[in-house]
Amino acid sequence: MSTATSASTPPGTDEGTAPVFAVDGLWKVFGPKADRVPADPELAALSPAELRSRTGCTAAVADVSFDVRKGEVFVVMGLSGSGKSTLVRCLTRLIEPTAGSIAIDGEDVRAMDKSRLRELRRHRAAMVFQHFGLLPHRTVLDNVAYGLEVQGVGRAERRERAAAIVAKVGLEGLEQRRPGQLSGGQRQRVGLARALAVDPEVLLFDEPFSALDPLIRRDMQEEVVRLHREEGRTMVFITHDLQEALKLGDRIALMRDGRVVQLGTPEEIVGSPADDYVREFVRDVPREQVLTVRTAMRPASSADEAGTGPAIRPGATVSEAIEAVARAGSPARVMSDGRCLGVVDAESLLSVVAGTAAAATAADGADAAAGSRAAGAAPVPPRAAPAERREPPTPPPATSEEPA
């Protein structure tokens, strides 16, 4: 296991390695004779309502394909009933998929026998659950050590390892409590610690924070960001909260009715929604906090403009640029390696906030959204270090407004 990717080596830079999870054409159909639905192209193309009336089946996951790369936070987001929780359970076959293929580090998950699958669940992928799934009759420490106990680790060793993890998630002093005596946020820390204790290659999160209060949710999100920064562990994160998805995700797969409607970076999702559904979804997102200055950038009109004014990095968000421009009272330069890529001025920044630059990246985002299969194989830029990972492919400058 190479989970101990240290914080210093930026994850994802080794492009040659296989994806952690490679999902291709995955289906999960509930209902009578579920097998025939993915096999029959005509049935496979039906809408959920039609499928239900024709066959009595529900396709919770329909022809989903994506790769999860080493070290990234891959967010699957969608409203309730969109199939995202089913999808994450299919990854370790907690729910048996109907069709398609899943590979972890190139190994076929669907072909695994029982003991191999147990091995996968014990060592390679650990899951954090929405309602925590803690054992009420065990102490915090024994809950955290449970995964190790299942593996057959001796009592003293597992307690020692569990104690270290308990400290890591900030639960020192609560080791001997029972889950019933903890608050919701503390319980989820136990759930997180339990998953971390087995030192898995991938962490799977199934809406882990939706049962928590907003303030505690924010704490926990920051906890996850911190853990990711420190350990660089690969994470698959399921959520129905767009803010959470944008905050945590390196890439986001947006699901609707079991299908992936768009897969891309937060900036691609917000900047160039693939269809009206996604557009409606991201309408209220404060765009200036997600989109980077590249969206608002124009070429420098003169050498003078390229030589003066505050410098900002290309990964900076529009809101950061607004602050810089407002302070300086002049356009700001977007600098990369000492070279001026372009400038942003108050007007161009304002048009991003107002959404009039929306069509700018539409053409670029189109291929990412063309379909889940295509999206999975779509070329993705090399990843930067987590600190400035929000680097999208450079969008062409915006000129025209998209027809309504």
Contacting residues toward another protein, per CB under 8 A: 89, 92, 94, 117-123, 126-127, 129-137, 146-147, 149-151, 176, 178, 180-181, 191, 194, 198, 204
* Count of alpha carbons within 13 angstroms of residue 208, beta-carbon side: 33
Give whichever of 74 and 146 is closer to another protein, judged by the CB atom: 146
In the structure encoding, which two tokens stand for residue 326, read together? Answer: 């407002």
Angle at alpha carbon of residue 54, lines to 51 and 58, rounded to 5°: 35
Report which secondary-structure segment, H or E, holds 99.
strand 99-104
CB of 131 to another protein, least distance (A): 5
* Count of alpha carbons within 13 angstroms of residue 148, beta-carbon side: 23
Cα separation, 287 vs 227, whole angstroms: 26
Give whichever of 85 and 295 is closer to another protein, judged by the CB atom: 85
CB of 64 to another protein, least distance (A): 20
Give whichever of 111 and 354 is closer to another protein, judged by the CB atom: 111
Phi/psi for 18 (5° steps) reads -70, 155
Give whichever of 47 and 181 is closer to another protein, judged by the CB atom: 181
CB of 121 to another protein, least distance (A): 3
CB of 129 to another protein, least distance (A): 5
Beta bridge partners of 342: 334
Give whichever of 92 and 221 is closer to another protein, judged by the CB atom: 92
CB of 174 to another protein, least distance (A): 13
CB of 352 to another protein, least distance (A): 42
Beta bridge partners of 256: 259
CB of 72 to another protein, least distance (A): 21
Angle at alpha carbon of residue 356, lines to 253 and 306, rounded to 5°: 95
CB of 222 to another protein, least distance (A): 24
Tell me the C-alpha to C-alpha distance, in Å, between residue 82 and each of 125, 152, 240, 363, 390: 23, 37, 9, 26, 26
Q: Which residues of 362-373 are buried (b: 16+ CB within 10 A; e: fewer)?
A: bebbeebbebbe
Q: Which residues of 58-67 are buried (b: 16+ CB within 10 A; e: fewer)?
A: bbbbbbbbbb
Give whichever of 54 and 155 is closer to another protein, judged by the CB atom: 155
The closest alpha carbon to 345, from 386, 392, 308, 385, belongs to 308
Give whichever of 9 and 151 is closer to another protein, judged by the CB atom: 151
Give whichever of 145 and 368 is closer to another protein, judged by the CB atom: 145
